[in-house]
Amino acid sequence: MQYHLSAVVVSALLFAATVPAQNCANTSIGSVPLMDLGTGTYQGFEGGLYTGGSNVPPPAHVARGLAAIANVVARDAAGAPNATGRIVVLSIGMSNTTQEFSTWVQTANADPNKNPSVTVVDGAQGGQDAVTIANPTANFWTVVDQRLANAGATPAQVQVVWLKEAIAGVTGGFPAASQQLQGLLAQIARNLTARYPNVQLCFCSSRTYAGYATSTLNPEPYAYESGFAVKWLIEQQIAGDPLLNSDPAAGAVVAPWLGFGPYLWTDGTVGRSDGLVWTCADVQADGTHPSTAGRAKVAALLQQFFTTDALTVPWYLGSGSVAAAFSLYGNGCPGTAGVPGMRNNGLPSLGNANFRIGIEHAAPGALALLWFADAPVAVPFVGACTVHVDVLSGWPVWGATTSALGTNQQSLPVANDPSWLGVQIYCQWFVEDAAGAALPGFLGLAMSRAATITFGT
């Protein structure tokens, strides 16, 4: 055994010696992140994280997810509901996955707002790509169960999974390689239900930016294109494929509910609409694996996701409580100063009379409308511009004029009314702007990204 371990170390050193340092000059590959691509296309395939270029799931898929989280409860070692039991959140994946998730575990365990029933376990392992773990008898799964045992948990307590995978040494081009990964992810999803009888939700993420890579492990554009594999996997379930069914009313359940977790890819230092960039300092010498800084970025995205998403907040925070949240989604539409930014001054907590929603980077002295709705949509407007709130839902519209700096604030005092606990509403700014998209009767139209407002404690 000592000889085997030494050989592994020697092999790693030889590999490191033959791989040149990261290519820090390759700061962009010119691709548009899926979350910003919308109804635009990449090699003929539509963007967005979900169907129709949207970054939010279709209402029916959300409803199925909400039904699934009703079963995410503390369970004893045998899997029976028990107030003193556990809700295990498990990571499944490769080296990048374990490096990023294990960093987040520290944040999660230090979070005083995390439901004490939640136990976070890193099951991901180095060198275990999608081809390997798609095999239900792979040793990978035995190691996962050992890690669960080390955490004092059992397979019957696993209810939520974060899945991030890729194919090592990937070849085949697009879309073939992405379709291959999609098929492997589907098999991994089925493995989850077969091994963990109470698993309800599987949040999937694709790769981070790999433009700095100097190895053939999983370079660009394969890292970018892995986002399509995840998108197509989820669409496969939404379309009702029985090989990914998660709905007991539709037949045998063979997979958990599938949805996007945090979307991690950004175009290097060019970045994306929410400001995320990936620099050479975010990767190790091979340009593929995250550095300490890169791991921290992904951990922050995981923390944001699990503490704000509608399908995680009810069970992850508190003991069934609902945390107030304000989270952006969708893509904006640029105007005079680029895409108008939506900002909040705090959280929509019950009793917060000072809660405000603002706009910045808008045309100065312009008419700005803050449109509220009870449902998200993804209605193409002009080009990549998308309306992300249901403007026909009958909710109020607030009108204002932006300042000379292109800003404005609107007050939304939150009553201390328990009936609002957990209620979600959606909003988006629309600004009259000659540099925006063409709109008859107006100078033109610029739009901010949209926001989900969750009223909570």
Per-residue CA distances from 196 to 161, 199, 255, 256 (Å): 10, 6, 10, 10
Burial of 327 (0-12, 13-18, 19+ CB in 10 A): middle
Range with lowest mean pLDDT among 1-15, 211-225, 407-421? 1-15
pLDDT confidence of residue 423: 84
Q: CB 380: neighbour CB atoms within 10 A? A: 15
Rounded CA-CA distance 201/260 in Å is 10
**pLDDT, tens digit, 9 for 90 and up, residues 312-370:** 988 998 755 567 888 888 888 999 989 999 989 888 988 899 999 999 999 999 999 99
pLDDT confidence of residue 20: 65
pLDDT confidence of residue 137: 98
Work out whether the CA dihedral 103, 109, 111, 113 comes out positive or negative: positive
pLDDT band at 10 (very low <50, low <70, confident <90, very high): very low
**Residue 71: pLDDT over 90:** yes
Asked whether the whole model's pTM tops 0.75, one would answer: no
pLDDT confidence of residue 8: 32
Per-residue CA distances from 382 to 53, 318, 332, 376 (Å): 13, 42, 12, 18
pLDDT band at 394 (very low <50, low <70, confident <90, very high): confident
Question: Which residue did the predictor score with more confidence, 176 or 421?
Answer: 176
**Residue 11: pLDDT over 60:** no
pLDDT confidence of residue 5: 31
Average pLDDT over residues 179-188: 98
Average pLDDT over residues 8-25: 52
pLDDT confidence of residue 260: 98
Average pLDDT over residues 18-46: 91
Domain at 20-316: CATH architecture: 3-Layer(aba) Sandwich (3.40)
Average pLDDT over residues 417-427: 81
Average pLDDT over residues 59-71: 92
Question: Which residue did the predictor score with more confidence, 337 or 44?
Answer: 44
Average pLDDT over residues 17-43: 89
**Residue 305: pLDDT over 50:** yes
**Residue 457: pLDDT over 60:** yes
229-238: buried (b, 16+ CB within 10 Å) or exposed (e) per residue? bbbbbbbbbb
Question: Which residue did the predictor score with more confidence, 8 or 57?
Answer: 57
**Fold match between 20-316 and 325-454?**
no
Q: In what order do the strands lie in the sheet with 201-205?
A: 118-122, 87-93, 158-164, 201-205, 257-260
**Residue 19: pLDDT over 60:** no
pLDDT confidence of residue 382: 76
pLDDT confidence of residue 319: 59
CB 212 within 8 A of CB 283: yes
Rounded CA-CA distance 331/328 in Å is 9
pLDDT confidence of residue 242: 98
Per-residue CA distances from 444 to 44, 344, 385 (Å): 29, 25, 12
**pLDDT, tens digit, 9 for 90 and up, residues 255-285:** 999 999 999 999 999 999 999 999 999 999 9
Take residue 172 and report the two structure tokens written for it: 């085949």
Average pLDDT over residues 153-164: 98
* Percent with pLDDT over 90 in the chain: 76
Domain at 325-454: CATH architecture: Single Sheet (2.20)
Burial of 69 (0-12, 13-18, 19+ CB in 10 A): buried
| Three-state secondary structure readout of the chain | CHHHHHHHHHHHHHHHHHCCCCCCCCCCCCCCCHHHHCCCEECCEECCCCHHHCCCCCHHHHHHHHHHHCCCCCECCCCCECCCCEEEEEEEECHHHHHHHHHHHHHHHHCCCECCCEEEEECCCCCCCHHHHCCCCCHHHHHHHHHHHHCCCCHHHEEEEEEECCCCCCCCCCCHHHHHHHHHHHHHHHHHHHHCCCCCEEEEECCCCCCCCCCCCCCCCHHHHHHHHHHHHHHHHHCCCHHHCCCHHHCCCCCCEEEECCCCCCECCCECCCCCCCCHHHECCCCCCECHHHHHHHHHHHHHHHHHCCCCHHHHECCCCCCCEEEEECCCECECCECCEEEECCCCECCCCCCEEEEECCCCCCEEEEEEECCEEEEECCCCCEEEECCCCCCCEEEEECCCCCCEEEECCCCCCHHHCCCEEEEEEEEEEEEEECCCCCCCEEEEEEEEEECEC
Q: Where are the domains of the chain?
A: 20-316, 325-454
pLDDT confidence of residue 377: 87
pLDDT band at 392 (very low <50, low <70, confident <90, very high): confident
**Residue 3: pLDDT over 50:** no
Pairing relationship of beta strands 408-411 and 376-380 according to DSSP bridges: unpaired
Report the chain's mean pLDDT, rounded to a whole number: 91
**Residue 1: pLDDT over 80:** no
Q: How many residues does the chain have?
A: 457
Rounded CA-CA distance 47/135 in Å is 30
Region of residue 172 (left: phi > 0; alpha: psi -120 to 50; beta: else): left
Average pLDDT over residues 107-113: 93
Rounded CA-CA distance 118/65 in Å is 19
Take residue 429 and report the two structure tokens written for it: 């700014």
